[in-house]
Amino acid sequence: MRSPKESQVRKLPESGVSRRGFLQGVSLGGGALGAAVLERPAEAAQSGVVGPGEVSITLWVNGKEHELRVEPRVTLLDALRDRLGLTGAKRVCDRGTCGACTVLVEGKAVYACTTLAIDAQGKNIQTIEGMTRGSELHPVMKAFVNNDAQQCGFCTPGFVVAAKAFIDEHPNPTEEDVMNGLGGNLCRCGTYIGIRKAVVEAAKAMGGRNA
């Protein structure tokens, strides 16, 4: 893991070939993305009143510190996707109802669409991008592959993150426990049977450990 001190301004995905980056590259030339100039980092919102205009905030995502300017109304999801290029968490219902935007804040699964970015400052935020170690898949991801636990795959990042949080708190779940525990995530393709099997398998592979 990199040092959390490492400051990255509006960092784009490391590979440079994400689908989002590609689309921006061909349609917009990506020019606007380099335009951010931070004045003073992290002046924002420790107390007092800020906004409604842009405010400098600091987010700690996947072990890296990011400084960015957002209006207080920007959700954590939009900040992750549109400012930091972390497009794993998906914007689907945008109303805290489908789970596609699930990320971990201080280890707990939350809906990033229903969290204000400014409110997530100073907290340890983990997204699907932070779950792999190099090219090594997380045990939950491996189990999703093994059990064909996705069809179109759009809900999958949210499910994988939610499943990790669920296993951390329920290290030996049954399929019924998984059904109840992951009730906050929806799959319109209906791959629930595979997902339940995958989560049970992942929990076994993790051997009751948090990972």
Partner 1 sequence: MQAFEYANPKTLQEALGLLGSSWGEADVLAGGTDLLGLMKEYIHTPKRVVNIKGIKELGGIEKTSAGVRIGATVTVAELLSSGLIKSQFPALIQAAQGIASMQIRNMGSIGGDLCQRPRCWYFRSGYGLLAMKDGKSLVANGENRYHAIFGRAPAYFVSASSFGPALIALGAKVKLASQSGTRELPVAEFFVAPATEDDREIALKPNEILTEILVPAETTRNATYEVRQKEALDWPLATASVALKMDGGKVRSAEIVMGHVGPTPVRAPKAARSLTGKTINETVAEKAAATAVKGARPLSQNAYKVQLAKAAVKRALLRAVS
Binding-site residue total for partner 1 (CB under 8 A)?
40
- Residues 168-207 touching partner 1, rule: CB under 8 A, are 180-186
Q: What is the rounded CA–CA span in Å between residue 183 and residue 23?
A: 33
Q: Name, in order, each residue with C-beta under 8 angstroms of 129's C-beta and a sequence gap of 6 or more.
A: 13, 62, 86, 88
Considering the complex, state which of residue 67 and residue 168 has its C-beta at the smaller distance from partner 1. 168
CB of 57 to partner 1, least distance (A): 10
CB-nearer residue toward partner 1: 45 or 59: 45
Helix (H) or strand (E) holding 104: strand 102-105
Structure tokens at 106: 């201080």
CB nearer partner 1, residue 84 or residue 112: 112
Least gap, CB of 153 to partner 1 (angstroms): 20
Q: Which of 65, 119 has the CB closer to partner 1?
A: 119
Hey, what's the torsion of the CAs at 182, 93, 17, 122, to 10 degrees?
-70
Binding residues among 81-140 for partner 1 as defined by CB under 8 A:
94-97, 99, 102, 108-111, 113-116, 118-119
CA distance 22 to 16: 8
Residues pairing with 211 in the sheet = none
Interacting positions 134-173 with partner 1 (CB under 8 A): 162, 165-166
Cβ count near 141 (within 10 Å): 21
Q: Which of 140, 130, 131, 118 is nearest to 45 (CA)?
A: 118
**Binding test (CB under 8 A) with partner 1, winner from 72, 85, 173, 194:** 72
Find the helix or strand (DSSP H, E) in which 158 lies. Answer: helix 156-169
* Minimum distance of partner 1 from residue 28's CB (angstroms): 24
Binders of partner 1 among residues 23 to 62 (CB under 8 A) are 45-53, 55
For partner 1, the closer of residues 88 and 181 by Cβ is 181
Q: Which is nearer to partner 1, 11 or 91 (CB)?
A: 91
Q: Please state the closest distance from residue 96 (CB atom) to partner 1, in A.
A: 6
Of 180, 179, 204, the closest CA to residue 192 belongs to: 179
Please tell me what DSSP assigns to residue 58: E
Give contact residues for partner 1 (rule: CB under 8 A): 45-53, 55, 71-73, 75, 94-97, 99, 102, 108-111, 113-116, 118-119, 162, 165-166, 180-186
